[in-house]
Structure 1
Amino acid sequence: MSIAFIAVIAALLYLAAAGLQLASALQHRGSLSRSLVVIGVFALCCHAYLTWHNIYDHSGMNFGFFRIFSLIFLGINSICMLALIKRPLQNLLVILFPLSAVAILIATLGPDTGSRDHAFPLGVAAHIGSSVVAYSLLTLAAIQAALLAAQDAQLKRRQMGGLLGILPPLQLMESMLFELIWVGFIGLTLSIGTGVIFMEDIFAQNLVHKTVLSIAAWVLFAVLLCGRHWLGWRSQTAVRLTVTGSTILMLAFLGSKLVLELVLERG
Structure 2
Amino acid sequence: MLTLSPSLLPSLAAACLYAAATLYQALRLKQGAKADKRLLCLLGTLAVIAHATGLYSQLIRPIGLGLDFFSAASMIAVAIIVVTMIACARIPVENLLVLVFPLGFLTVLLAQFAPSGTVQLIEEQPGILSHILLSIMAYGMFTIAVFQALLLLVQDHRLKHKHPSGLIKNFPPLQTMESLLFGFLWAGWILLSLSLISGWLFVENLFAQHLVHKTLLACLAWLVFSVLLWGRNRLGWRGHKAIRWTLGGFCLLMLAFFGSKLVREFILHI
Same fold (TM over 0.5): yes
1:19-48 CA-to-partner distances (Å, cap 9, x unmatched) read 121122223334643221111100010111
Q: How far apart in 2 are the matches of 1:226 and 1:16?
A: 41
Deviates more, 1:233-242 or 1:15-24: 15-24
Shift of 1:118: 4.9
1:213 counterpart = 2:217: yes
In the other structure, the counterpart of 1:84 is 88
Shift of 1:4: 1.3
Decide which of 125, 131, 134 is 1:130's aligned counterpart: 134
* Structure 2 runs not aligned, ≥5 long: none
Shift of 1:116: 4.8
Q: How far apart in 2 are the matches of 1:212 and 1:198?
A: 17
Aligned length: 266
User: Would the alpha carbon gap of residues 12 and 214 (structure 1) be closer, same or farther in structure 2, given more than 3 Å must change?
Assistant: same
Q: SS where residue 28 of structure 1 aligns?
A: coil
Shift of 1:60: 2.0
1:45-80 CA-to-partner distances (Å, cap 9, x unmatched) read 011111111111223211100110100101111110
Q: How far apart in 1 are the matches of 2:122 and 2:170?
A: 47
In the other structure, the counterpart of 1:42 is 46
1:186 counterpart = 2:190: yes
Decide which of 56, 59, 81 is 2:60's aligned counterpart: 56
Q: How far apart in 1 are the matches of 2:233 and 2:14?
A: 41
In the other structure, the counterpart of 2:259 is 255
User: After superposition, where does 1:1-267 map in structure 2 within 5 Å?
Assistant: 2-30=6-34, 32-264=36-268, 266-267=269-270
Q: SS where residue 65 of structure 2 aligns?
A: strand
Q: Is the Cα–Cα contact under 8 Å of residues 59 and 116 in structure 1 kept in the other structure?
A: no
* Structure 1 runs not aligned, ≥5 long: none
Deviates more, 1:115-124 or 1:133-142: 115-124
Q: Is the Cα–Cα contact under 8 Å of residues 48 and 82 in structure 2 kept in the other structure?
A: yes
* Runs (4+) off by over 6 Å: none
Q: Is the Cα–Cα contact under 8 Å of residues 70 and 111 in structure 2 kept in the other structure?
A: yes
1:185-244 CA-to-partner distances (Å, cap 9, x unmatched) read 000000001011111111111111111100101011111111111111112111000011
Shift of 1:106: 1.5
Give the letter aligned to residue 10 of structure 2: I
Q: SS where residue 207 of structure 2 aligns?
A: coil
User: Would the alpha carbon gap of residues 31 and 19 (structure 1) be closer, same or farther in structure 2, given more than 3 Å must change?
Assistant: closer
User: Would the alpha carbon gap of residues 146 and 240 (structure 1) be closer, same or farther in structure 2, given more than 3 Å must change?
Assistant: same
Q: How far apart in 1 are the matches of 2:180 and 2:203?
A: 33
Relative to the length of structure 1, the TM-score reads 0.94
Q: Is the Cα–Cα contact under 8 Å of residues 22 and 94 in structure 1 kept in the other structure?
A: yes
Q: How far apart in 2 are the matches of 1:66 and 1:210?
A: 17
Aligned CA RMSD, in angstroms, stands at: 1.6
